Structure 1
Amino acid sequence: MEEHIRDNDFFVKDMQQHADDENKSAKDNQQLLLKEIGEQLPLENYSHLIEMCCRKSSDGSDNLIFRALKFAYEHHAGQVRKSGEPYINHPIAVAEIIAGDMGLKDPELIAATLLHDIVEDVISLTPGSIEKRFGKNVANFVDGCTKLKMMSLDQSINKDMTYQKLISMASRNPEILLIKIADRIHNMQTIGFLKEHKRQRIAQETIEVYAPLAEKLGLFSIKRRLFELALRHRFPKKSKRLLSILKNFEASGEIAEIRAQIYRACQILPFDVSVTGRLKNLYAFYSSRKKTLDIHTAENLVDFTVIIESSDKLHCYSTLGVINTIFSPVPKSIRDYIANPKINGYRSLHVRITYKDKRYLIKIRTSEMERVARRGLLLHWDDRDQIHEYRKVLMEILKSIAEYEGSPVTRKDMIGQLIEDDKVFVYTPQGDIHYLPEGSIVLDFAYKVHTTLGDRCRYAMVNKQKVTPAFILDDGDEVEIFTSNRSSEITADIEGKCRTPKARSAVNKKLQKKRDLYSRNIGRDIMTQAMDRYGLDDQLFKSSALSDFLTYKGIENLEQFFTSIGQFRLMPGEVLWEIAEIHPRMKKSRSTSSGGETKRFLLSLSEIERDVHKFSQCCNPLPGMGLCVGLLSINGVSLHRSHCEKYKERRGFSEDKIVDVTWDLKTSWKRDLIFHILIKKISLRLVMELLSKISHAGHIHSIKESKMRKDISVKVSFHSFEQSRTFFSCFENANYTVEIVEYGKTLFNNSFLNF
Structure 2
Amino acid sequence: MDQLNLSSNQEHIIDVLIRKNPDLDRGILSKAVAFIAQAHEGQYRKSGMPYTEHPYEVAKILADLKQDQPTVLAGLLHDVVEDTDHSLEELAEMFGEDTAFMVDAVTKITAAQEANKTAQKAETYRKLIIAMAKDPRVIMIKIADRIHNMRTMRYMKPEKRQLIAQETLDIYIPLTHRFGLYKLKNELEDLSFKYVNPDEYQKLVDALIENKESREQYIQSVIGPLQIKMALEDFDCTIQGRTKNIYSIYNKMLSRGCQFEDIFDIFAIRIIVESIPECYLALGYVHNLWTPLQSRFKDYIATPKPNLYQSIHTTVIGPDNKMVEVQIRTKDMDLTAEKGFAAHWAYKLETQHEGEELAWLNHMVKLQSEISDSKEYLDFLKVDLKPSGMTVFTPKGTSIELPQGAIVLDFAFAVHTELGLHCIGAKINDEVVNLDTVVTHGATIQILKSPHQEPSPEWLEMVKTVKAKQELRRWMRNSMIQQSKDLGKEIWIRELRLAKIEKDKRPAEEAINKYFGTTSVDDFYERIGQGELPLVDIQRFLNGDRAQNGNDSAKALKFFPSFNKDKKAEYRDEMPLQIGRETSLMIHFAKCCAPVPGDKIVGVLRPQIGIEVHNEDCPELKKLTDGQQIAVQWSEQSTHAFEVHLSIENDNRKNFTYDVLKALKDENLFMDRISSAGVNYSGRVRLVFKAYRKEQVDNLISNIKKIPGVRQVVKS
User: C-alpha distance in 2, partners of 1:431/1:55?
Assistant: 40
Quote the offset at 1:181 in angstroms.
0.9
Give the C-alpha shift of residue 217 in structure 1.
0.5
Partner of 2:229 in structure 1?
A: 265
Aligned counterparts of 1:128 and 1:671: Cα–Cα separation in 2: 69
2:272 is matched with 307
Letter in 1 for 2:66: G
**Pairing partner for 1:482 from 441, 448, 453:** 448
1:208 matched to 2:170? The reply is yes
Distance in 2 (CA, whole Å) between partners of 1:637 and 1:396 is 42
**Which digits, 9 at most, give the CA deviation of each residue in 1:222-281, with x for residues without a partner?**
111211222223333432332343344442211100111111122232331221111111
Pairwise CA distance, 1:324: 0.9
Separation in 2, partners of 1:161, 1:661: 46
How do 1:188-587 and structure 2 match up within 5 A? 188-252=150-214, 253-287=217-251, 295=260, 299-308=264-273, 310=274, 312-355=275-318, 356-383=320-347, 384=349, 385=351, 388-399=354-365, 402=368, 405=371, 407=376, 410-415=379-384, 417-418=386-387, 421-422=389-390, 438-446=404-412, 457-474=423-440, 479-483=445-449, 489-491=454-456, 493-495=458-460, 497-498=462-463, 503-515=465-477, 518=480, 538=519
Following superposition, the deviation at residue 188 of structure 1 comes to 0.3
Q: State the aligned residue count.
A: 583
SS at match of 2:281: helix
CA contact (8 A) 1:209 1:415 kept: no
Partner Cα distance (1:86, 1:40) in 2: 15
Shift of the 665–131 alpha-carbon distance from structure 1 to 2, 3 Å rule, reads farther
CA deviation digits over 1:328-359, x for unaligned, max 9?
00023332222333333332222111123332
Question: Which residue identity is paired with 1:272?
Answer: D
Between the aligned partners of 1:256 and 1:630, the Cα distance in structure 2 is: 70
- The one-letter code matched in structure 2 to 1:230 is S
Provide closer, same or farther for how the CA distance between residues 121 and 448 of structure 1 changes in structure 2, counting only shifts above 3 A. same
What is the alpha-carbon distance in structure 2 between the residues aligned to residue 704 and residue 366 of structure 1?
A: 50
In the alignment, the residues of structure 2 paired with residue 148 and residue 454 of structure 1 have an alpha-carbon distance, to the nearest angstrom, of 40
**8 Å CA contact 2:407, 2:438 repeated in 1:** yes
8 Å contact from structure 1 (residues 171, 394) kept in 2: no
Deviation at 1:374, TM superposition (A): 2.4
Distance in 1 between the 2:316 and 2:402 partners? 22
Contact conserved, 2:81 with 2:87, CA < 8 A, in 1? yes
Please show how residues 648-659 of structure 1 align to structure 2 within 5 Å. Answer: none
**Structure 2 length as normaliser, TM-score?**
0.65
Equivalents in 2 of 1:36, 1:637: separation in Å? 81
Identity of aligned residues (%): 24
Q: Distance in 2 between matches of 1:279 and 1:396?
A: 36
- Structure 2 distance, partners of 1:613, 1:184, is 50
Contact kept in structure 2, 1:460 and 1:482, CA below 8 Å: yes
State the match for 1:748 in structure 2. Answer: none
1:447 and 1:534, CA in 2 relative to 1: closer, same or farther beyond 3 A? closer
> Displacement of 1:427 after TM fit?
6.9
1: CA distance, partners of 2:629 / 2:69? 64
1:676 to 2:643 alignment? yes
**SS of 1:382 mapped into structure 2:** helix
**Deviation at residue 435 of structure 1 after TM alignment:** 8.2
Q: Look up the equivalent residue of 1:38 and give its one-letter code.
A: L
Distance 1:705 1:185, change over 3 A: closer
User: Gapped runs of 5+ residues in structure 2?
Assistant: 489-508, 533-576, 596-600, 614-625, 652-667, 678-683, 695-712
Conserved 8 A contact 2:602-2:633: no
- Residue 22 of structure 1 is matched in structure 2 by none
Distance change in 2, residues 1:110/1:37 (3 Å): farther
Q: Aligned residue for 2:6?
A: 38
Q: CA deviation at 1:476?
A: 7.4
The 5 A counterparts of 1:143-158 are 143-147=105-109, 149=111, 155-156=117-118, 158=120
Structure 1 Cα separation of the partners of residues 97 and 479 of structure 2 = 43
Work out which of the two has the higher radius of gyration on C-alpha atoms and give 1 or 2.
2
Task: Return the offset for 1:146.
Answer: 1.7
Q: Give the SS at the match of 2:436.
A: coil
Aligned residue in 2 for 1:12: none
Pick which of 165-174 and 476-485 moved more.
Answer: 476-485
* SS in structure 1 of the partner of residue 294 of structure 2: coil
Change (3 A) 1:369 1:152: closer
- Deviation for aligned residue 1:208: 2.4
SS in 1 for 2:47: coil
2:166–2:192 CA contact under 8 A, matched in 1:
yes
CA distance in 2, matches of 1:344, 1:377: 7
Deviations 1:576-614 (A, max 9, x none): xxxxxxxxxxxxxxxxxxxxxxxxxxxx99999787899
User: 1:656-715 CA distances to partner (integer Å, 9 max, x unpaired)?
Assistant: xxxx9956544878976544243567789xxxxxxxxxxxxxx99779875424445353
Shift of 1:321: 1.2
Kindly indicate whether the alpha-carbon contact (under 8 Å) linking 2:299 and 2:312 is maintained by their aligned counterparts in 1.
Answer: yes
Distance change >3 Å, CA 437–CA 208, structure 1 → 2: same
Distance 1:319 1:507 in 2: 44
CA contact (8 A) 2:605 2:611 kept: no
Q: Distance in 1 between matches of 2:397 and 2:269?
A: 30
Q: Deviations over 1:178-237 (max 9, x none)?
A: 122111101101111111111122112212221111011011211112112222233334
Q: Give the stretch that moved more between structures: 405-414 or 242-251.
A: 405-414
| Alignment root-mean-square deviation, CA | 5.5
Moved more, 368-377 or 490-499: 490-499
Q: Which amino acid aligns with 1:202?
A: I
Aligned to 2:426, the other structure's residue is in SS state strand
What corresponds to 1:138 in structure 2? Answer: 100
- Decide whether aligned partners of structure 1 residues 295 and 718 sit closer, same or farther in structure 2, where only a CA change above 3 A counts: same
Deviations 1:274-314 (A, max 9, x none): 21111111122233996999637955111001122x3x421
Q: 1:299 to 1:267 in 2, by over 3 A?
A: same
2:690 counterpart (715, 732, 750):
715
What residue number does 2:497 align with?
none
SS in 2 for 1:460: strand
Contact 2:132 2:139 in 1 (8 A): yes
Residue identity in the other structure for 2:294 = P
CA contact (8 A) 2:643 2:689 kept: yes
CA distance in 1, matches of 2:148, 2:611: 45
Alignment of 1:181-192 (within 5 A): 181-192=143-154
- Listed one character per residue, the Cα deviations across residues 513-568 of structure 1 (whole Å, up to 9, x for unaligned) are 4225646997999xx99x96899674999xxxxxxxxxxxxxxxx9xxx99xx9x9
| Cα-to-partner distance string for 1:443-481 (whole Å, 9 max, x where unaligned) | 444566677766764421124332222212357755333
Map Cα deviations across residues 349-375 of structure 1 (whole Å, 9 max, x no partner).
Answer: 221111233322111223333233222
CA distance in 2, matches of 1:711, 1:118: 63
Secondary structure of the 2:111 match is coil
> Alignment partner of 1:306: what SS?
strand
Bigger shift: residues 200-209 or 155-164:
155-164
Counterpart-to-counterpart distance in 2, 1:144 and 1:204:
19
CA contact (8 A) 1:300 1:360 kept: yes
Asked if structure 2 preserves the Cα contact closer than 8 Å seen for 1:203 and 1:231, the reply is: yes
Q: What's 1:687 paired with?
A: none
Q: 1:288 to 1:716 in 2, by over 3 A?
A: farther
CA–CA distance in 2 between the matches of 1:540 and 1:704? 45
SS at match of 1:346: coil
